[in-house]
Amino acid sequence: MKNKLTIGLFASFLAIAVDFGVNASAQSNNEQVPTKPQENPSKAKRLPLRFPGNGGSRLRLFNRADFNSKLRKDIGATLKSFEAMTYKQYVEKYMPGMGGAADVADDRMIAVLEISFPKGTKTDNAEYSSATVRSVRDRETGELIEYEISGQKVNQPEGDCIVK
């Protein structure tokens, strides 16, 4: 999927670069080039949205209590914070200048959860003696969009390690 996204973004960049080249040459010759409305090339090449916008809808959205009730308390997970926002607000706050997932609409309502694992946790490629997970979940479905883990890895020198 990453390759398809990269190819799509490259194709969009080429389409925009070519468009700018035509306008630049026309302006250098002081000629008027008629323009016609065209579909935005970046939207034409875009993959379908997995999470379309829902910011203006009146759907029942998951709240703090809903997410808290789903935590694995048997392994010591505790919900430290809950923030409700749009995906665009999340990207601006937590990933400025990096952009976000291409398949999530800017106005999609999400929840940013900070979950503490003081007893540790295991992932596919690491084990942590203690960890904090920032989990980004869709507020309509509860589905995981992305996450970040920070904490002390087992059998690793002192210092925090972040895995995305």
| DSSP secondary structure of 3-56 | HHHHHHHHHHHHHHHHHHHHHHHHHHTT----------HHHHTPPPPSB---TT
Domain boundaries in the chain?
A: 2-44, 64-163
Q: How many CA atoms lie within 13 A of 94 on its CB side?
A: 20
**Beta-carbon count within 10 A of 86 CB:** 19
pLDDT digits (tens, 9 = 90+) for 33-90: 444 444 444 445 556 788 878 776 677 889 999 999 999 888 899 999 999 999 999 9
Distances (CA, A) of 123 to 32, 132, 146, 148, 153: 60, 12, 14, 11, 11
Q: Residues 38, 105, 49, CA angle at the centre, nearest 5°?
A: 75
Q: According to the model, what pLDDT value does residue 45 have?
A: 57
Q: d(Cα 63, Cα 83) in Å, to the nearest integer? A: 9
Counting residues of the chain whose pLDDT is more than 90, the rounded percentage is: 40
Q: d(Cα 79, Cα 113) in Å, to the nearest integer? A: 7
Flag whether the pTM goes above 0.75.
no
Q: Are 111 and 83 in contact (CB under 8 A)?
A: yes
The answer to which of 20-24, 105-109, 135-139 has the lowest mean pLDDT is 20-24
Q: d(Cα 103, Cα 164) in Å, to the nearest integer? A: 18
3-class DSSP assignment, residue 131: strand
The answer to which of 9-23, 40-54, 91-105 has the lowest mean pLDDT is 9-23
Residues contacting 132, CB < 8 A, separation 6+: 80, 114, 115, 116, 117, 149, 150, 151
pLDDT at residue 121 above 60? yes
**Beta-carbon count within 10 A of 129 CB:** 15
| 161 pLDDT tier (thresholds 50, 70, 90) | low
pLDDT at residue 16 above 90? no
Mean pLDDT score across all residues of the chain: 73
